[in-house]
Structure 1
Amino acid sequence: MTAFVESITGSRAFGFVARLVLTSMFWLSGIAKLADFNGGVAEMAHFGLEPPALFNIATAVVQLVGSALIIANRWTWLGAGMLAVFTALTIPLAHNFWTMEEPMRTVEFYIVMEHITVIGALMVVAWKTAR
């Protein structure tokens, strides 16, 4: 059984699909910020980021370039780092559960925990590709 599992998880196709799944939320968000530019700008303004158009572009670039580096498996550590830092920065900006009342406090707390899990997965990607 071990050889079978290793043959699957050790394949290039498995690595590609794993990187694609990991980065899918960043791809979708980055593309959405460009496809609905005004919506992305409104989102940045909602969180007090000025100038919102520049933050929308920067966010999309970080998400798409970071994801592309991971998918291409080139400078993967940089792509993972870009996305991890971006994800960490969203916590105090957009998911500051400690300032909220229930029930939103608990909802946002779980979103933060998911963000921390994604950061951990990005750390594993950087670690594994550096070996």
Structure 2
Amino acid sequence: MHVAKGWWWLGRAGLCLPYAWSGVTKLLDFPGAVAEQAHFGMIPPELFAACVIVVQLGGCLLVLFCRGRWRAGGAIVLAAFTVLATVIGHAYWTMSGMQRLYTLNSFLEHAGLVGGFVLIAAQALHKGGVGGDEEEEEEEEE
């Protein structure tokens, strides 16, 4: 089954959109990014804010514009970041009522993002598979 390269890129772009948006927003409002990190108890908040920006924007660049191990690395970094951020920021098990329900929904949505990044990493590392690097190289040679 052949899927056009553009569809693969569009799928990766969709997964990266929240991270790119968040990273750019934090970059443009660094004091707000620091306040967010302080809110979640991250010390020192300036360092964590800077790291979040680098991870979000760097991971997106790797996923969108690199191949093979670099793409897989970016996807794994974003997946790991999402796991950590979700456990810290969406601790539904500490809540009750409607707040628990809304936070659980967000937690589960983030789990779906992690699954998407795992699929990107697997696809990027699988030589000759659907959408794999070998197939892309063959398309470019034609």
5+ residue gaps, structure 2, are 127-142
2:85 aligns to what?
Answer: 90
Q: How big is the shift at 1:102?
A: 1.1
The sequence identity of aligned pairs, in percent, is 35
2:69 counterpart of 1:106: no
CA distance in 2, matches of 1:122, 1:73: 14
2:136 counterpart of 1:126: no
5+ residue gaps, structure 1, are 1-5
CA distance in 1, matches of 2:98, 2:12: 34
Match of 2:32 among 25, 28, 39: 39
2:44 aligns to what?
Answer: 51
CA offsets 1:43-71 (integer angstroms, 9 cap, x no match) = 00000001111100000100111110000
Instruction: Tell me the C-alpha RMSD between the 2 structures.
Output: 1.1
Q: How big is the shift at 1:13?
A: 1.4
Greater shift in the superposed pair: 106-115 or 15-24: 15-24
* Number of residue pairs the alignment of both structures matches: 124
Q: How big is the shift at 1:126?
A: 0.6
Q: Which has the higher contact order (CA 8 A, sep 6+)?
A: 2
2:134 aligns to what?
Answer: none
Displaced runs of 4+ in structure 1, greater than 3 A? none
